[in-house]
Amino acid sequence: MKRPVLTIYCLLVYAFLLAPILVVVGASFNAGNFLTFPPQGLSLRWYVTFFNNEVFMRAIRTSLWLAAVSTVISTIIGTMAAIYYVQHAGKRKELIRIAMLSPLLLPEVLTAISLLFFVYTIGIGTRTIIGLVVGHVLITLPFVFINVSASLESFDSSWDMAARSLGAGRWTRFRRIMLPLIKPGVIGGALFAFIISFDVFTISFMLKGIGMSTLPIQLFDYLRTNFTPEAAAVSTLSIVLTLGVVIVSEKVLGLRIHRF
């Protein structure tokens, strides 16, 4: 092994990165009433409790729905902006980049509060889910933009010219040439957007309506007062869900990328 010190150091860092996640997964199989160590035997009882807990199930449904809707919206808006940014922006490129990344660069707390006051000021408040969806779109937009523009940067403009010289109109060129070639970026961006939206906390915390809850918020509320391993079971399921999304998409994506 070359440079053993560096390798061991990195392994330690990876262990540090994984530790809290593994601990949560491990705790979810604890048979005891509290998060005690060593665990009092293995059990799936907390999963049963959690699946029968309507509050958590409703929160999961809300989170999935919210993530799906905001992903679709931000993928469309972000892809359009990325196309303009890479191919047409010219001198305005830097300005557009900063604008598109601004939701990521600005403190999430401040954005969440601003948006909360704004929806109240214009009168819609948190009675509708508009504010919540807008917040999620804002937060996920930069991830779509980064991914799509990265794949567009490697989109060779001579492909577009070649298609034109062969007689393809604007829409055909987009559908047959550009879209298939930037698809990994678009899917990657959408995937990222979905996961980010699924995990967003502060924005949802401020903009959720009364009685409404996403999974991270429900979990947070629960953790403030409860210490049973049910929270670990909820967390583990959430981890499995996101991991599932990633793996499925990677497989689908992997097949496509492999072809070129």
Partner 1 sequence: MSAKRGAGIARPWLLMVPAVALLLIFLVIPYINIVLMSFRTPGTGTPYGVGFTIDNYLRFFSDSFYLFQVFNTLWIGALTTALCLIIGFPVAWQLARGDMRFRGLAYGLVLSPLLVGIVIRSYGWTILLGNAGLINRTLQALGIIDSPLPLMYNALGITIALVHVFLPFMILPIMAAIQGVDPSLESAARSLGASRFTAFRRIILPLSMPGIQAGCILVFVLSLSAYVTPSLIGGLRVKTMAVTVVDALIDTFQWPWGSALALMLSVTGAVCVLIFARLTRMKWKVARS
Partner 2 sequence: MTEVSIERLTKVFGSSRAVDGISLRIADGEFISLLGPSGCGKTTTLKMIAGFEPVSDGAIRFDGSDVVNVPAEKRDIGMVFQNYALFPHMTVAQNLAFGLEMRKVAKPEMEERIARVLDMVQLGGYAERYPNQLSGGQQQRVALARALVIEPRILLLDEPLANLDAKLREEMRVFIRDLQRRVGITTVYVTHDQAEAMTMSDRVVVMFGGRIAQMGAPADIYEKPETLEVAEFVGQVNLIKGRVTSVDAGEAQISTVFGTVAVPDRGIARPNMTATLALRPEALDLAAAGEPGAAGRITARYYSGSLVDFRVALSSGEELHVQTFPNARYSEGDDVTVRAPLDAFWLIGAAQ
CB 144 within 8 A of CB 75: yes
Q: In angstroms, what is the C-alpha Rg of the chain?
A: 22
The one of partner 2, partner 1, none whose footprint includes residue 162, by CB under 5 to 8 A per kind, is partner 2
What residues between 47 and 66 interact with partner 1 by CB under 8 A? none
Tell whether residue 259 is a contact of partner 2 (CB under 8 A).
yes
Tell whether residue 91 is a contact of partner 2 (CB under 8 A).
no
Residues of 41-68 as b/e, b for ≥16 C-beta within 10 angstroms?
eeeebbbeebeebeebebbbebbbebbe
Half-sphere exposure in the Cβ direction for 3 (13 Å, CA): 5
Among 71, 198, 213, 230, binds partner 1 (CB under 8 A): 198
CB 178 within 8 A of CB 190: no
Q: Using CB under 8 A, which of the segments 50-58, 67-75, 151-159, 236-244 binds partner 2?
A: 151-159
Tell whether residue 159 is a contact of partner 2 (CB under 8 A).
yes
Tell whether residue 172 is a contact of partner 2 (CB under 8 A).
yes
Nearer CB in complex with partner 2: 37/159 = 159
- Decide: helix, strand or coil at residue 155: coil
Tell me the sheet residues that pair with 42.
30
Q: Using CB under 8 A, which of the segments 50-58, 64-72, 179-187, 215-223 binds partner 1?
A: 215-223
Q: How far is CA 69 from the centre of its chain?
A: 12
**Omega into 184 within 30° of 0, i.e. cis?**
no
| CB of residue 258 to partner 2, shortest distance in Å | 10
Tell whether residue 219 is a contact of partner 1 (CB under 8 A).
yes
Nearer CB in complex with partner 2: 41/169 = 169
- Which residue ranges make up the site for partner 2 (CB under 8 A)? 156, 158-159, 161-169, 172, 176-177, 180-181, 259-260
